[in-house]
């Protein structure tokens, strides 16, 4: 029962950084671009957010700063790819390395310092339910906000004119341009949204999920988010399910320690990344190349 309680309490928080970054990248890819810089954007968002929360004590300011940091880095990517026509794969990888380097530089003097996390809020009338109430139904405010946001984003992309325009740009940019849509502006906006979401995911990881600063703490979450977009076939519901799945897998090492399973910690830590590779292999065999 204690293991079940641990999973219920930790899965949503573990999944949230992945979910935020993956939803942002999904919007980017729906416009026909591929941003491989998510890892760096999450890292710079995590560093800026931690510094702001440590210095001011305000999580709101930290989240805003992390989102802005990711947005700024994403605008560099957008300028290179959309305006200068630089290869998007090369630009994304370069921005990923840049973000990781900047996060290490900014966070160097804050190494191993901690901040206080967000208070956990229970659903009125439901948080007293045995086992489920104090765990699954008691989460921080950002987790609760992410649930309606995910639903709303899915609705916007599939049921509203802006969402259909975004999809039209991704499916055939020349046709969208010929009927009067500013393809470059739409792609700039989508990339900015994706960068802000990645920065927000990084901010949550460094100030709430693991409220301490350590160089490299993003630890591949950006690459998992990229894989989640493909795994979820560019649909918000499936991406959310994938994020929950990887959230459970990321808790594998702690669960093994709690149950006394004697496995190398490196094996358990690598489990989410191994599953990521296997899922991408399965998807690619079923649907062909990533572009499909």
Write out the two tokens for 176.
Answer: 């969208």
Span 232-272, pLDDT tens digits:
889 999 999 989 988 888 777 666 666 666 666 667 667 77
pTM value surpassing 0.85: yes
| pLDDT tens readout for residues 161-211 | 999 999 999 999 999 999 999 999 999 999 999 999 999 999 999 999 989
Angle, CA of 147, 150 and 23, to the nearest 5° = 130
């Amino acid at each position: 029962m204690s293991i079940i309680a641990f999973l219920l309490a930790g899965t949503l928080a573990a999944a949230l950084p992945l979910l935020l970054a993956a939803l942002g990248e999904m919007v980017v890819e729906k416009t026909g671009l591929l941003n491989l810089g998510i890892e760096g954007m999450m890292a710079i968002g995590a560093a800026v957010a931690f510094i702001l929360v440590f210095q001011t004590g305000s999580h709101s300011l930290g989240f805003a700063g992390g989102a802005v940091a990711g947005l700024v880095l994403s605008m560099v990517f957008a300028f290179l790819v959309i305006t200068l026509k630089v290869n998007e794969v090369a630009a994304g990888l370069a921005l990923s390395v840049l973000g990781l380097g900047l996060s290490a530089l900014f966070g160097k003097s804050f190494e191993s310092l901690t901040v206080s996390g967000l208070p956990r809020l229970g659903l009125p009338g439901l948080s007293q339910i045995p086992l489920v109430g104090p765990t699954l139904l008691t989460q921080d405010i950002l987790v609760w906000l992410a649930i309606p946001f995910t639903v709303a984003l899915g609705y916007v992309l599939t049921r509203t004119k802006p969402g259909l325009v975004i999809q039209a740009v991704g499916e055939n940019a020349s046709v969208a341009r010929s009927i009067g849509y500013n393809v470059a502006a739409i792609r700039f906006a989508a990339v900015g949204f994706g960068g802000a979401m990645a920065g927000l995911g990084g901010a949550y990881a460094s100030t709430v999920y693991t409220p301490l600063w350590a160089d490299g703490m993003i630890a591949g979450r950006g690459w998992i988010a990229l894989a989640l977009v493909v795994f979820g076939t560019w649909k918000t519901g499936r991406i959310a399910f994938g994020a929950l799945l990887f959230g459970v897998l990321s808790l594998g090492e702690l669960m093994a320690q709690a149950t006394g399973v004697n496995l190398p910690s490196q094996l358990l830590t690598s489990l989410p990344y191994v599953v990521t590779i296997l899922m991408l292999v399965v998807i690619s065999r079923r649907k062909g190349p990533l572009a499909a």
